[in-house]
Amino acid sequence: MKFLIIEDEPNLQKLISYFLTKEDHLTEVAGTFSEAKGKLHNFSYDCIILDLNLPDGNGLNLLPIIRADHKEAAVIIVSAKDSIDDRIKGLDLGADDYLIKPFHVSELNARIKAVTRRKLFAQDDKAVFGDFTFYFEGRKVEIRDKEIDLTKKEYEILIYLYRNKNRVITKDSLAEHLWGDYMEDNYSFDFLYAHLKNLRKKLAKEGVENYLQTLYGVGYKFAIPTA
């Protein structure tokens, strides 16, 4: 897929671009409102990552242009402006999702996958990964054609792990994904460990617990185990 990253902070621009390139996407960057406007007029993109605070204008004003010229593109707003007003305005103007800085790359990744799947591969309701088959609409997971019984939270954890497959995700990003950022201190981790323990048990029962690796207290990785 081809991405346009509209972000004025050079470090962040580089990091998002680096991360997307590693996921085998094509990326282009625009650091200013006018640069973004030019690129949007001349090229086509599948997904646009839009920062609202640009040095020469408000990113919100780019949304009508995006919607006129790039009907199919998925748009994710990324901004430090965390007012509810901006969020509603952004979504009203046709953005598909809204992410507040500071965010985890894994969260951005999960949102991109969710949005692009919804928009670009709407007919594609299932995904196969090793022994796992995910059904997004039905919110269910099969392991070797056998449906496993998951709680809502366990399903969310597994989908988040799947959307970030083959990458290390931190336990913070997982906790934040599940409960939002108001869950504080070690308490939320106790909580996360409890859910993961149950999930791991269920995976173990089907003999696939080695898909889920723990990395020295930092985080987790969901990958097809090397034999």
Partner 1 sequence: MTYRTRVAILILIMGYAALAALITNTQSIWIFFLGIVCFLLITFVLWLESRSVRWQLKVYKRKIYEVLRNLNRFEDPRDKHNASKMESEIADFYGNIGRQIKKSFQIEKQFTQNASHELQTPITVIKTSLESLLQSPNLQEEDYKDIETILKNTNKLSRINQALILLSRIRSYYNDNVEKVNVNDMIHHIIGEFEERLDHSGIKVEFQEENELIFEMNKTLCEIMLSNLVSNAIRYNLKKNGYLLIKVKGNAIRLENPGKHLTKNTEDLFDRFARDNDNPDSLGLGLSIVKLICEYSGLMVDYYHKEGVHELVVRKK
Q: Which residues bind partner 1 (CB under 8 A)?
A: 9, 11-12, 15-16, 18-19, 22, 80-82, 84, 101-106, 153, 167-170, 172-173, 181-182, 184-187, 190-191, 194, 215-219
Task: Identify which of residues 135 and 187 has a Cβ nearer to partner 1 in the complex.
Answer: 187
Comparing CB distances to partner 1, the nearer of 68 and 194 is 194
Best CA proximity match to 6, nearest among 27, 26, 36, 43: 36
CB of 30 to partner 1, least distance (A): 17
Q: Is the peptide bond before 225 cis (omega within 30 degrees of 0)?
A: no
Cα(91)–Cα(97) distance, integer angstroms:
7
d(CA 214, CA 202): 16
Least separation in angstroms between residue 128's CB and partner 1 is 23
Whichever of 84 and 227 has its CB closer to partner 1, that residue is: 84
C-beta closer to partner 1: residue 137 or 217: 217
Instruction: Cite the beta strand spans of the chain per DSSP E.
Output: 2-6, 26-30, 47-51, 53-54, 57-58, 74-79, 97-100, 126-129, 132-135, 140-143, 146-147, 168-170, 212-215, 219-222
Min separation Cβ 27 and partner 1, Å: 14
CB atoms within 10 A of CB 196: 20
Separation CA 3–CA 79 (nearest Å): 17
* Smallest distance, partner 1 to C-beta of residue 46, A: 22
Task: Please identify, using beta-carbon distances, which residue of 68 and 88 lies nearer to partner 1.
Answer: 88
**Summary count for the chain: helices (H), strands (E):** 8, 14
Closest approach, Cβ 142 to partner 1, in A, equals 26
- Answer whether 222's CB lies under 8 Å from 211's CB: yes
Measured CA to CA, the distance from residue 208 to residue 192 in angstroms comes to 20
Q: Which is nearer to partner 1, 70 or 81 (CB)?
A: 81
Residue 51 CB, nearest approach to partner 1 (Å): 9
